Amino acid sequence: MLVGNLVAGSRNAEVTVTLVAGPDREATEQTLNSFLHCCTDLSRVGRFLVVDAGLSAQDRAALRKRYGFVEFARRRSGDGTGAQLARLRAQIGGRFWLHLGQGWRFFGPENYITRLSAVLDAEPQVFQVGINYGDAVKLTGTCAAESEVRRSPDAGRYVLAEVVASGPAMFDTARLDQAGGLDSSDADPIAELGQRALGAGLQTASLDEVLCIRAT
């Protein structure tokens, strides 16, 4: 039912969701399926882009058939993480880019698009909002001290962070470009982005929860 209600969107969709599909098709399906089930405001997503990072031709065809709304992003053989992210950014024309990364599973039903974009609306100096507090990769049982927590009606609880999130996160694309964007030649594109953002007076934030985990 969920898949049947989704269609391939345009480059200028306000909200684009991206992920990396590695050689394990099952892991990609688990990321997609868990996000589709847990994103309760899925109707706000205008486009899904997938980077093929080692799928077999058979697995790629199977994903196309099962998820007809998915568009495979252009890539070059041998692209590293920096090149993958830079190519994705170049193919996104709308304001909000939610990158799910590779190998993540969502378990918490939430209005992800509404909450993440609401943080960006409330904090003009923030260019990225991570989904997990502390950029966690597993359940931690921790949350921010009350003195650190910020709130807005649609975002709920969130906090400002000191480092750029490597896990699933939403970018404001204009502010990302203002921060210097993603350089395809960077060995560690997230760390380098953090340095450029700091110089531009921009920072990151996260929701005050852990809502997805990375598969081991």
CATH fold of 15-214, please? Spore Coat Polysaccharide Biosynthesis Protein SpsA; Chain A (3.90.550)
State the chain's mean pLDDT as an integer: 91
Using one digit for the tens of pLDDT, what is the confidence trace for 32-75? 999 999 999 999 999 999 998 889 999 999 999 999 899 998 66
Residue 109, pLDDT > 70, answer yes
Using one digit for the tens of pLDDT, what is the confidence trace for 118-174? 999 999 999 999 999 999 999 999 999 999 999 999 999 999 998 999 999 999 999
Question: Backbone phi, then psi, for 34, in 5-degree steps?
Answer: -65, -40
Residue labelled with tokens 């990364």 = 101
The pLDDT score that the predictor gives to residue 76 is 67
Stated as kind and residue range, the H or E segment containing 203 is: strand 203-207
In this prediction, residues 14-29 reach a mean pLDDT of 94
In eight-state DSSP terms, residue 59 is: H
Residues 6+ apart with CB under 8 A from 200: 178, 179, 180
pTM over 0.85: yes
Among candidate residues 140, 147, 153, 160, the one with its CA nearest the CA of residue 207? 160
